[in-house]
Structure 1
Amino acid sequence: MKGYFVTAIGTEIGKTYVSSALLRAWRRSGLAVHAVKPVMSGFEEAELAATDAGQLLAACGREVNSLSVSDICLHRFEAPLAPNVAMRQTGVQQDYRAIRDFVRSHLSGCPAGRLLVEGAGGVMSPLTDEALQIDLMADLGLPVLLVAAPYLGAVSHTLTAIDALQVRGLEIAQLIISQPGPESPPPASLGEEVSRFRDVA
């Protein structure tokens, strides 16, 4: 099994779109696939298929229901807030080790193939009041797929994310530039600017 951690330079960048596309492509090539979304905000029980976890499950070829969502997602919150804030507001215990161990259990139990762990928010987004997304990435030690999108300020945000990941010793397996909407600038423009300053595939 080969695993990757999917993160982004911010929110609403296209992590789930990219993750789902990769999972479907791997399935078409004959690989077994699995996905984990340990924490999810902006969750609506009535719209399971449209949630991040629902989209990942569908891309894996799995049925989308409450049980299957619970299988790949430890915590889900209705409010579209950072996980630590959502936990505080709903009274959920902020147990970073439980989140980390939840992901590790999937990593150890996954058969040969490909596994994606999709984070919440960006590289430095809070996970609990004591841990950031990058802390989870460092503890898992998986190669990182960094998703970026072209917008004003994206060059700075992308370079900052790259440096933060590299400082923690994380391998950036791929920088993936999405185009969240038809009005977004061409993805190649961001790639060209980032490549002037950092050597990232």
Structure 2
Amino acid sequence: MTKQTLIVAGIGTEIGKTIASAVLVEALQADYWKPIQSGGLDDSDTDTVRRLISNPTTYFHSEAYRLTQPLSPHAAAEIDGVTIELEKLTVPETQNALVIELAGGLMVPLNNHDLSIDLVQKLGLPVVLVSRNYLGSINHTLLSVDACRGRNIPLLGILFNGPTVPASETFILNYTGLPCLGRIGQEAHITKETIQKYARLIRDSFEEDPSKV
């Protein structure tokens, strides 16, 4: 399997990017990097992924910014008296595959003039878009896809998380022409075994079509 760096982006907040990232990390035995952590420093997204994966290969790269408040990065950074600078957000060096998890959705502000999508464009890496079914999610998913395509940001495909709604998912995939990279179902508890289960399914999907990753 090709060792590739990819970005995990969501169509909004509380979409399940961290669980999706854990599944991708386990599937690819990739490294993990969350450039910006807003709040939850005692139990960060990096800690969550570390707790959920089982492979011995993954290395966890330190966040570039660790902000104390669970707010939009630009607001959390202002409270902490720092400014998030895109120039300081450089991809860690590794010989391994690498999964990069964004903070929030693509249009989340990082400072007074840069958005998360500006960081994605700067890094020049392909995106796995995580979608979750709820009223309005078709709109949010299509807007996210259009935002990426408007900036020539490559999309590897869509990873659905949570309860399945076939009518919504079928429309999204048909309208965008993007592949479905997998589906992570609604789980009462997320454990290492849960992550391994979905990692196997996604790994099989990637191996059937090596162009994905």
Which bin holds the TM-score, normalised by the shorter protein? 0.7 to 0.9
1:20-70 residue CA offsets vs partner (Å, 9 max, x unmatched): 01111223xxxxx2111010112232xx3xx211123343757xxxxx97x
Which residue of the partner structure matches residue 92 of structure 1?
82
- Give the one of 21, 30, 55 matched to 2:23: 21
Corresponding residue number in structure 2 for 1:65: none
Q: Secondary structure at the match of 2:87?
A: helix
Aligned AA (1:36): W
Percent sequence identity over aligned pairs = 30
- Distance in 2 (alpha carbons) for counterparts of 1:60 and 1:97: 33
Structure 1: which 5+ residue stretches go unaligned?
28-32, 63-67, 180-184
1:195 to 153, 169, 173: 173
What displacement does 1:200 show? 1.1
Q: Which residue of 2 aligns with 1:54?
A: 47
Alpha-carbon distance change, 127 to 93 in structure 1, aligned in 2, over 3 angstroms: closer
SS at 1:195's partner residue? helix
| TM-score calculated relative to the size of structure 2 | 0.75
Greater CA drift, 153-162 or 120-129:
120-129
2:114 alignment partner, SS class: coil
More helix by share: 1
Matched, 1:119 2:97: no
**Secondary structure of the residue that 1:119 maps to in structure 2?**
strand
Residue 75, structure 1, aligned to residue 53, structure 2: no
Q: Which runs of 5+ in 2 are unaligned?
A: 180-213
Using the TM superposition, give the Cα deviation of residue 176 of structure 1 relative to its aligned residue in structure 2, in angstroms.
Answer: 0.7
* Superposition CA RMSD, Å: 1.9
Q: 1:186 aligns with which of 161, 164, 172?
A: 164
Superposition deviation, residue 93 in structure 1: 2.7
SS state at 2:105 partner: coil
Contact 2:24 2:99 in 1 (8 A): no
For residues 54 and 44 of structure 1, the distance between their equivalents in structure 2, rounded to whole angstroms, comes to 9
SS class of match (1:145): strand
Secondary structure class of the residue paired with 2:83: coil
> For residues 85-142 of structure 1, what are the alpha-carbon distances to aligned partners after superposition, in whole Å with 9 as ceiling and x for unaligned?
00111101332211x22xx2x1xx211x310111000011112222111111111111
- 1:35 is matched with 32
TM-score by length of 1: 0.79
The structural deviation recorded for 1:74 is: 1.5
Deviating above 3 A after TM superposition, structure 1's stretches of 4 or more consecutive aligned residues are none
1:102-181 aligned within 5 A: 104=91, 106=92, 109-111=93-95, 113-179=96-162
**Superimposed CA distance per residue, residues 2-35 of structure 1 (whole angstroms, 9 cap, x where no aligned partner):** 11010010000010001101111223xxxxx211
Give the equivalent residue in structure 1 for 2:204: none
